[in-house]
Structure 1
Amino acid sequence: MITHTHDLTLTGTEVRKRFTSWEDGEPDREWTCLTLLAMHCPGLAPRPVRMQTVDGAPEIVMERIPGLPLGGMPATAEQLAALGAALRRLYGVPLTGAAATGIGERRLGPSTLRTHLAEYATESYDLSATRAPRLVERALSATREFLVAAAAPPFDLSVLGIADLNPANVLWDGRVCRLVDFEDGGLSDPAFELADHLEHLAGRKVYEPEALVRAVGLSGTQRERLSEWRTHWAMFWLIMLLPGNGGFLRNPPGTTEAQADRVLRMLAN
């Protein structure tokens, strides 16, 4: 489930990211990703300065990079083109050599997402707090049936992925996009990554899907996998928005029902 994992302290030149939760290896994952990016894609992400322990908590100090977060309104064509270029640079990082040896699969990656979804979906939820319990239950039941009956889409762990492309993690300086927050990053599949980004609850308000897909340059086969993985990520967000999970309280009333309808429409296609 989604939890708050860190606190940020900003100076004029540095960002200090102190982790409040690190049981999934978030600090090591982020440090390894940033180190590899500094070597092969300088300027795409913050340059790591040092990793340290402060009051018993791991902390990463990194350079502060220019730009303001996307979000609040749909991205412009120029911003989407720049984001596509940033993701192409990210996906082009070589994954061989000593610097890449410590990188494993991203958190909730293509080999584990379905297992987690099946586990989450079978938990007991009190849907009486939703506006349309029957609709939400239909979507949840359809999710459970899909995860049992449908085969997992193929994938290829061929690129470095950021995992969390919440628009708040994309900094735009008027010319280029830079990426921050690699604590969940790691090896991934381009179609899987883009599906995650496009179905992110915040990203859906900002990213125009077809424009971003074109900007990234997915192949025909990758586009087919993209559609399948988007269904999985839509199910992920349905579960995050159920009563008892953090997304239910953080989002306006009606969000859960809208997501339930989205999942049912995707499964009907």
Structure 2
Amino acid sequence: MASTHAVEVGATTVVKRFRRWDQDEHRREWRALTLLAEHAPGLAPSPVCADLDADPPSVTMARLDGTPLDGRLTGVQVDGLAEAVAAVQTAIPEPVLRGLPSRLLHPLVALRRLRGRCARRPPPGEDPVVARAFGEVAGWVARPRLDEVFAAEFTPVFGLGDGNLANYLWDGDRVRVVDFEYSGRSDRAYELAEVVEHISVWVDDGLDAPALLSRFELTSAETARLRECRRLLALFWFLSVLSEDPRHPRNPPGTAVRQAGRLLALLGA
């Protein structure tokens, strides 16, 4: 997927210029920064200024210390990641949260789009693992009950909307969060699935997903929803990898087969 923005990094500030903003990505970013500055100062960059009506629009924020999480995370880093994820989710008071728009790619929207892609797409190439995964997931995604599963309302949380590990900065002591262009109202299970199924986690096996999830006390209903959300987002990444231009791949060789195996494991869970 093409980058949604360009970044200009200065000594004390970062300017984010948006290449795409048809879904209010720039306003989502600015809203998130201002809300988090009010309700959880220090968790995300402090907002400096924004030119939301420019073409392209831009948001200027304070520069944070730290480097993106990468490679195999230590136990302390997993703790920090869990604390940051939980802090984002719970920072915004519920009366404010209920007035926010849903995050981009609501699970029901994702389901309908992925159904369409599975229906249109011809069988994949010769690799048997990829072919098997495509066949099994096409059957799973067509199940009518999934509409009810993903339309269900849960206690709202504030969702980052993007599980890329590069959005979490480690400064040696704590994890802080950047990139809120997809953010909005969400639910805890979907946001946790967004993190543990993001392709940045599985390309280099950097995150122990069970270890991260063990830091959260989920209800039985949230646990059931998490299972289906993980399948949904693993499918999203599976189809994304299959649609890559082989002349300009974004991921290492073998990613499609690994993601197919990941998807099969989740479907069998």
Structure 2 equivalent of residue 249 of structure 1: 249
Instruction: Determine helix, strand or coil for the equivalent of 1:46.
Output: coil
Number of corresponding residues? 262
Structure 2 equivalent of residue 223 of structure 1: 223
Runs of 5+ unmatched residues, structure 1: none
Instruction: Determine helix, strand or coil for the equivalent of 2:57.
Output: strand
Percent of matched pairs sharing the same residue: 34
- Higher mean C-alpha displacement, 149-158 vs 159-168: 149-158
Q: Where do 1:1-269 residues align within 5 Å? A: 2-52=1-51, 56-71=55-70, 73-92=71-90, 93-97=92-96, 103-125=100-122, 127-128=124-125, 132=127, 134-149=128-143, 151-152=145-146, 153=149, 154-156=152-154, 158-204=156-202, 205-244=205-244, 249-269=249-269
In structure 2, relative to structure 1, the CA distance for the partners of 1:109 and 1:245 (3 Å cut) is farther
Rounded Cα–Cα distance in structure 1 between residues aligned with 2:52 and 2:218: 40
For 1:85, the aligned partner's letter is: E
Rounded Cα–Cα distance in structure 2 between residues aligned with 1:258 and 1:77: 25
Rounded Cα–Cα distance in structure 1 between residues aligned with 2:99 and 2:8: 27
Asked if the contact 1:240/1:246 (under 8 Å) is kept, the reply is no
Rounded Cα–Cα distance in structure 2 between residues aligned with 1:145 and 1:136: 14
For 1:200, the aligned partner's letter is: H
Q: State the TM-score, normalizing by the size of structure 2.
A: 0.89
- Higher mean C-alpha displacement, 118-127 vs 27-36: 118-127
Displacement of 1:107 in angstroms is: 1.0
Q: Deviations over 1:31-53 (max 9, x none)?
A: 11111111100111111111116
Asked if the contact 1:126/1:243 (under 8 Å) is kept, the reply is no
Runs of 5+ unmatched residues, structure 2: none
For 2:187, the aligned partner's letter is: D
Q: State the TM-score, normalizing by the size of structure 1.
A: 0.89
For 2:121, the aligned partner's letter is: S
Rounded Cα–Cα distance in structure 2 between residues aligned with 1:222 and 1:268: 19
RMSD: 2.3
Displacement of 1:4 in angstroms is: 1.4
Rounded Cα–Cα distance in structure 2 between residues aligned with 1:240 and 1:112: 16
For 2:109, the aligned partner's letter is: T
Instruction: Determine helix, strand or coil for the equivalent of 1:216.
Output: coil
